[in-house]
Amino acid sequence: MSAASELVVYFDEVFIEHEAPDGAYHFPPHDLLAVTEPHPDRPERLINIRHAIKRALADVTTWEAVVPATSAHLERVHEVEYLAYLKQRSAEGSGRLNPATGVNEATFEAARHATGAAIQTAERALTGGPDEVPYALVRPSGHHAQPATADGYCYLNNLAVAAAHARATGRAERIAIVDWDVHHGNGTQEIFYDRSDVLTISVHNDFGAWGPHHPQTGRANEQGVGEGIGYNVNVPVPPGTGDRGYAYVFDAIVEPILEVFEPELLLVGAGQDSGQIDPNGRNLLTKEGFHDLGCRMRELAAHCAGGSLGIVQEGGYQLSHLPFGTLGVLEGVLNVDTGVEDPFTLLEEYLPPVETWTREAGAIHAHHWPLQFDPASDK
């Protein structure tokens, strides 16, 4: 194994203690079913990733304690009343905040620590050594959490709080968040929708709006409002998008926009539920595809962001494939080859649909960024 960088992992055992209620997958139990199952956001997700890092990347990894986010950190993004509600519901024990998102007595502390780890990741990215890559190995995830709403297994928006902290403390004037979780980062979009200092880019399947607690569609025409117009970049991709499709999206839209924006900090929402056999997505990324995304982020950070790169864990729910996909990301950002191969490469992708969808999204975003596509006549 050859390495060019050191991985700095922020992890806390409280992440393992958070559990949502069992049911019919992530929904409440159903009378038709005799057997319930664990919620897909299971503690074993992080246990497997941690084990993979210790087995494959031990020589280049250091582990750091997590300092939980304070109320002042959280209130830059979330409403005070919502924080009090979330803390109370967690203290009450097991229950559901909405059909897919539930709590236990550890949820609030786990979420507060996850947000703290994201803050530490952003700070380390800005102040650490040039050969360090900080990584927040956290759960619960954060990118669906809105200012006053828990959503999609998310309670506090880890990436948004970290970005807001970097801005409020003057550590970075321009921040970019790239989110390749298979689900739209609707909470992050909502938080920064009227701002031009935080560029949000989300590449995801087109799930659309999920109901009153998730009204954002994730479509390309959701571009921001006021000063934020053009700084929210959604790129929906069709089911079956794999390694070549993601490479096309990043070549055509993501990288050209980042090169123009020139962030001082690049944060990545690394959700590996876009992997081949994830039950929550319908895409076909392999470990090699995730490795390519990690490489691209490393190179873009070096070229556009002075090397300031931070990785924050988001989704990924197939317990066996998630560690392989995540290892691919980490190999890419570290410039490491562990020799570990992906045993789950099962399907070939069909490229034309993602090319068509990308051209359609690119024509919308070309109104604000110098892309290869002609601007659409109707924004």
Is position 144 annotated as part of the catalytic site?
yes
Residue pair 337/7 in contact by the 8 Å Cβ criterion:
no
Rounded Cα distance between 222 and 230, Å, is: 9
* CA 34 to the chain's CA centroid: 34
Q: What are the structure tokens assigned to 211, written together?
A: 């109901």
Cα 21–chain centre separation: 23
Contact 15, 106 (CB under 8 A): no
Phi, psi for 276 (deg, rounded to 5): -60, -40
For 122, the token pair is: 């952003």
Please report the sign of the dihedral spanned by the C-alpha atoms of residue 124, residue 128, residue 129, residue 130: positive
In the block, tokens 């970049």 appear at 233
Q: What is the largest CA-CA distance in the chain?
A: 56
- Give the length of the chain: 379
Would you say 197 and 167 are in contact if contact means Cβ atoms under 8 Å apart? yes
Helix axes 107-127, 80-91, angle to 10 degrees: 130
Catalytic residue of the set 113, 143, 144, 184:
144
- Report, in angstroms and rounded to the nearest whole number, the Rg of the chain calculated over CA atoms: 19
Strand partners, 31: none
Q: In whole angstroms, what separates CA 155 from the centre of its chain?
A: 14
- 93/18 Cα distance (integer angstroms): 11
Which sequence positions are flagged as catalytic?
A: 144
